[in-house]
């Protein structure tokens, strides 16, 4: 087991580490990492190492959308994804939405383990490769 990670807001100094985690996580959306700074963008730290990141946006006072989430492959399955999501939505009351590729069964299992429910399926939502999006929602209260 790894020591409990801490989660903090990301800064421009974190972008190199975030880009490396993103490129090692092909199932994650591939953004220009500096665009994450326009949103609510947080990193998980273990010791001195950035082990994962989450990006979400505020749609309204009581709606949030997760834009991206990834944990470094060597740190997966240690509760870091769980801590990133839990920390971000602690104290928040409302709905959290996300879209995930239908083939990303790991992420779908992960979100289900956190009590996200499947809301609907958007066929042909993604390009290269074309694929459906599973829309999931979590109600935080
Ligand atoms: C999805 C992801 C963020 C999960 O992060 P993580 O830190 O490994 O997840 P956690 O350790 O917090 O897992 C919490 C629970 O999710 C479920 N889970 C996570 N990974 C799983 C897997 N590979 N298979 C089955 N269940 C899994 C389990 O229930 C797990 O609890 P357990 O380990 O006690 O059984 C990580 O796999 C990842 O970065 N994937 C690539 C990027 C990606 O797909 N992002 C999603 C974009 S929408």
Residue with the smallest CA separation from ligand 1 atom 40 is 70
Q: What residues contact residue 17 under an 8 Å CB cut-off, 6+ apart?
A: 43, 49, 50
Flag whether pLDDT at 77 surpasses 80.
yes
Please say whether the beta carbons of 7 and 87 come within 8 A: yes
Task: Tell me the mean pLDDT in the region 65-70.
Answer: 98
Q: What is the pTM of this model?
A: 0.97
Measured between its terminal Cα atoms, the distance across the chain in Å is 30
Query: What distance in angstroms lies between residue 89's CA and the mean position of ligand 1's atoms?
Result: 17
Query: What pLDDT is stored for residue 128 in this prediction?
Result: 84
Residue among 35, 30, 47 at smallest CA distance from 10: 35
Residue with the smallest CA separation from ligand 1 atom 24 is 106
Query: What pLDDT is stored for residue 2 in this prediction?
Result: 66
What is the C-alpha to C-alpha distance for residues 75 and 20, in angstroms, rounded to an integer?
13
Name all residues whose Cβ lies below 6 A of ligand 1: 25, 27-28, 69-71, 76-82, 98, 100, 104, 106-107, 109-110, 113
Query: What distance in angstroms lies between residue 115's CA and the mean position of ligand 1's atoms?
Result: 13
CA angle 23, 133, 116 (to 5 degrees): 90
Query: What distance in angstroms lies between residue 58's CA and the mean position of ligand 1's atoms?
Result: 23
Which residue, chain included where needed, has tokens 């220009």? 32
Measuring CA to CA, how many Å separate 58 from each of 16, 33, 53, 89?
25, 19, 17, 11
Q: How confident is the model at residue 24 (pLDDT cuts 50, 70, 90)?
A: very high
Residue with the smallest CA separation from ligand 1 atom 30 is 110
| Residues facing residue 95 across a β-bridge | 63, 139
Q: Which atom of ligand 1 is nearest to the CA of 110?
A: 16
Please say whether the beta carbons of 80 and 88 come within 8 A: no
């Amino acid at each position: 087991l790894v020591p409990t990670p801490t989660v903090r807001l990301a800064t421009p100094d974190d972008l190199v580490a975030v880009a490396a985690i993103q490129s090692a996580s092909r199932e994650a959306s591939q953004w220009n990492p500096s665009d994450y700074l326009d949103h609510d963008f947080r990193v998980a730290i273990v010791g001195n190492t950035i082990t994962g990141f989450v990006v979400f946006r505020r749609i309204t006072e009581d709606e949030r959308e997760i834009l991206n989430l990834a944990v470094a492959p060597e740190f997966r399955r240690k509760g870091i994804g769980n801590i990133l999501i839990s920390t971000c939505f602690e104290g928040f009351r409302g709905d959290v939405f996300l879209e995930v590729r239908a083939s990303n069964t790991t992420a779908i299992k992960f979100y289900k383990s956190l009590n996200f429910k499947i809301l609907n399926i958007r066929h042909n939502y993604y390009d290269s490769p074309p694929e459906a999006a599973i829309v999931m929602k979590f109600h935080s209260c």
